[in-house]
Amino acid sequence: MTIVIFIPVLLYAIILLFSLFLNDKNSIGAFIQKKALFLSLILVAANGLLYVFLSPYWSPVDEQAHFAFIETISAQKKIPLLTDYVSNDVVSLMEKTHGGNAKLTSQQVGLAGTQYEALQPPLYYLVSIPFYQLGGSGLVDRIYALRLWGLLQLLIIVFLSYKIFTNVKFLFPAKSAFFALSAICVIGMTPAMVTRAVTVGNNIFPIIFLALAVWWASRFLESKKSIGKGDAVILGLLTGLAVLSRFLMIVLIPLGLLLFLVKREKILTNSLIYVAIILFLLTPWLIFNESHYGSLTANNQARKIQAPALNTMSGLSHYGLAYVRDNFRQMLGQIWIPEEAFSRAFRAGQMLKGLARLMNVIWLGSLFFAGLSVIYLKSKRKIANKHYLTILSAAIFIIVNFLFLVAATLYGDWPILLGRYMHAVLIMIAFFFSLAVYQISQLKTRFVALPMALVLAYIPLLVNLAYLIQLRNV
């Protein structure tokens, strides 16, 4: 098994090496440039399968609660409520897995026996029903069927991300496959993203719609193409479906409105259409919440149910600025290393934590450097306005998402300053990581620049390998 762990990482490293140093005139180089997307999908899938079968069930990050949501819809043909309990079968397997009493019922295990994820919008769970049923009658088989569905979601995101990155040719004019592949490393080969993909939950499903929206929006930012009413409808549909998959994706709405503003075309008309489509999609769910909880969302009710357990785990009763300050570094680390790695059973090693810190230094540094460079080039009129808007939009998306998490933590008094909630902007983070790799590769001393760029591109693979080695020993 140890040798198998190395194979996807090693092959991806070789592809990165060849895509950087071999040109199109070389047969191997030409093949990799042409088949880069296919090769990356195969290796991301192989790597993801290792996570599917090595990651213990249930993940401590709410996997059993998300699974129970799907099980309830399938068995009872209804959306669960916060006041409902999960099935005794789920509790029995959960207790057995974690060394507890497998004979306990859902009403005897506290929060873990409740449908505490019933506050979530229902789209992911409804779409997951066919995959749940493909798992047959066994509970464990159904878990793995849903995990494979999560891996498929990751592959869709990788596909869309590759298309986005290869379209940004003004940043990566030469050897674009290498820079796109280095960005795909960040999305498809880092432990936190892969873990969230292959454990049951609605963590990455909305990113599919986000990626489609980003791809669609980039067509306008990177050209003089006008935004019509049909485009506003499509962006509204994609945004609405994202929010209907995970409520935190409401951060997309102001960014969609910003797109209409910067294009300066039929701003009011397009904005009204965009918002109307989103409200149309969300209305049934909002009515459901109003009828059952007396409010448009169940967040307040969920907070009351979850607060005792969360406060016990954190040792806090209030989540203010001190909490944000103390957890900021850990949140950044969790973008790359999943929360499971910080559990008692795992205990992430110093090497793994060090690599995660290095990843943060690179992408935060590239974000800062890119910002300064764009401002300078814009002042000197050395960068086209459309390119300026693309880079600025990516940076704004990252910042707005982070500020939203901080605001929700402070004003909602709820500890959601977690790295997994930054995965919504991982495509943008990967963009800036790849930009850092590109900037290094363009240094005048080429015999130093290209190896340095390659080393940077290898860091996500090293994080992945270090985590897999430790995961095997859990």
Residue-level pLDDT, tens digit, the chain, 474 residues: 567 888 999 999 999 988 887 766 677 777 877 888 899 999 999 999 999 998 887 777 888 899 999 999 999 999 999 999 998 888 888 777 666 666 778 888 788 889 999 999 999 999 999 999 999 888 889 999 999 999 999 999 999 998 888 776 555 555 568 888 888 999 999 999 999 999 999 999 999 999 999 888 877 766 666 778 888 899 999 999 999 999 989 988 988 888 787 767 788 888 999 999 999 999 999 999 999 999 999 988 888 888 887 777 777 777 888 888 888 888 888 899 888 776 655 655 677 778 788 888 888 887 787 777 667 666 666 555 566 677 777 888 888 889 989 988 888 777 888 888 999 889 988 888 888 887 777 776 767 788 888 888 888 998 898 888 888 776
Residues 6+ apart with CB under 8 A from 33: 19, 24, 175, 177
Which among 231, 262, 297 is the end of a domain?
Answer: 297
Which among 269, 297, 325 is the end of a domain?
Answer: 297
Regarding whether 273 and 422 lie in a shared domain, the answer is: no
Asked if residue 281 lies in contact with residue 244, where contact means CB atoms within 8 angstroms, the answer is: yes
CB neighbours of residue 273 within 10 Å: 20
Place of tokens 């300078």: 376
Burial of 326 (C-beta count, 10 Å sphere; 0-12/13-18/19+): exposed
Residue 226 inside a domain? The answer is yes
Residue 357 inside a domain? The answer is yes
Regarding whether 387 and 348 lie in a shared domain, the answer is: yes
Place of tokens 């069930």: 57
Total number of domains in the chain:
2
Regarding whether 335 and 272 lie in a shared domain, the answer is: no
Regarding whether 148 and 273 lie in a shared domain, the answer is: no
**Six token digits for residue 396:** 């704004």
Taking the C-alpha atoms of residue 323 and residue 319, their distance in angstroms, rounded to an integer, is 5
Regarding whether 318 and 446 lie in a shared domain, the answer is: yes
Regarding whether 267 and 331 lie in a shared domain, the answer is: no
Residue 229 inside a domain? The answer is yes
Residue 86 inside a domain? The answer is no
Instruction: Please calculate the CA angle 69-73-76 and round it to the nearest 5 degrees.
Output: 120
Residue 100 inside a domain? The answer is no
Range of the domain at 290: 205-297
Residue 442 inside a domain? The answer is yes
Regarding whether 257 and 219 lie in a shared domain, the answer is: yes
Taking the C-alpha atoms of residue 143 and residue 126, their distance in angstroms, rounded to an integer, is 16
Nearest to 184 by CA among 59, 30, 8: 8
Regarding whether 167 and 37 lie in a shared domain, the answer is: yes
Regarding whether 210 and 329 lie in a shared domain, the answer is: no
Which among 241, 272, 297 is the end of a domain?
Answer: 297
Taking the C-alpha atoms of residue 349 and residue 49, their distance in angstroms, rounded to an integer, is 23
Residue 106 inside a domain? The answer is no
How far, CA to CA in Å, does 38 sit from each of 32, 33, 71, 184, 433?
A: 9, 10, 34, 12, 22
How far, CA to CA in Å, does 371 sit from each of 171, 177, 300, 353, 364?
A: 14, 24, 38, 27, 11
Residue 95 inside a domain? The answer is no
SS3 at position 114: strand
Regarding whether 407 and 321 lie in a shared domain, the answer is: yes
Regarding whether 373 and 276 lie in a shared domain, the answer is: no
Asked if residue 131 lies in contact with residue 178, where contact means CB atoms within 8 angstroms, the answer is: no
Regarding whether 235 and 192 lie in a shared domain, the answer is: no
